[in-house]
Amino acid sequence: MRALVLLLLLIALPALGQNRATGRAAELDALAAGLIAAPNEETAAKIEGRMRELWAQAIAPSAMLLVRRGMRELANAAPQEALDDIEAALVLDPEAPDVYLRRGLARSELGDYPGALADFQETIRREPRHFPAWQSLSRIAEAREDFKGAIAAWNKVLELSPKTPEGEERLKALTRKLLGEDA
């Protein structure tokens, strides 16, 4: 009897995980549509916050411990230690888009822009609506004085989240830099 119960649990657990993942995906779809239609910045910020939570919840718990430590290290000006922890998290959970984003942030702090770009692009490949990755791509392109690339990435941010705080202002500033009007 015990063996039968254990066998049923082993069969049911992956299905429960799939149901959570399916529910998370459906909620992300609804939130993404709501973000586009958000009437103001406040509403958009709440939706963005929930989307970030869902992306973080998709990370395996063991990997999330390493990601959190890595982000603390990044905040404490220890980007190499952060990178080491986040890379260890990727070994545990190589499917989570948000882990690639966070490794990209650590690589960016270390000045590894090609590696950071690759991570942000991988984040987007796995989750095309990941507006933080698009924002990061725009910032790196701007830092490299690739203003066309910065504008293209920022336009994608605005497509995904039209009420991004100061979004239109940033687009105008990038356009001025492209035209050589703002040094």
The DSSP line for 8-42 is HHHHHHHHHHHHHHHHHHHHHHHHHHHHHH-SSHH
Kindly report the backbone phi and psi dihedral angles of residue 79, in degrees, each rounded to the nearest multiple of 5, phi listed first.
-65, -30
- Tokens coding 121: 């692009």
Domain 2-178 has CATH 2.40.50.100: no
Whether the Cβ atoms of residue 148 and residue 178 lie closer than 8 Å to each other: yes
CA dihedral 105, 110, 115, 117 (to 10 degrees): 50
**What's the pLDDT score for residue 34?**
92
**What's the pLDDT score for residue 20?**
66
**What's the pLDDT score for residue 19?**
57
Does pLDDT of 64 surpass 70?
A: yes
Domain ranges in the chain?
2-178
Which residues have a Cβ under 8 Å from the Cβ of 26 and sit 6 or more positions away?
Answer: none
User: Residue 180, by phi and psi: left (phi above 0), alpha (psi -120 to 50) or beta?
Assistant: left
- Average pLDDT of the residues in 164-170: 92
- Tokens coding 140: 């790196």
Does pLDDT of 14 surpass 50?
A: no
Cα–Cα distance between 43 and 165 in angstroms, integer? Answer: 11
- Average pLDDT of the residues in 93-100: 96
Does pLDDT of 7 surpass 60?
A: no
- Average pLDDT of the residues in 148-177: 95
Percent of the chain exceeding pLDDT 70 equals: 87
**What's the pLDDT score for residue 51?**
95
What's the whole-number average pLDDT of the chain? Answer: 88
**What's the pLDDT score for residue 16?**
44
- Average pLDDT of the residues in 98-123: 96
Whether the Cβ atoms of residue 57 and residue 93 lie closer than 8 Å to each other: no
- Tokens coding 32: 């993404």
Percent of the chain exceeding pLDDT 90 equals: 83
Does pLDDT of 5 surpass 90?
A: no
Q: What is the DSSP letter of 93?
A: -
Residue 182 pLDDT grade (very low, low, confident, very high; cuts 50, 70, 90): low
Indicate the pTM of the whole model.
0.84
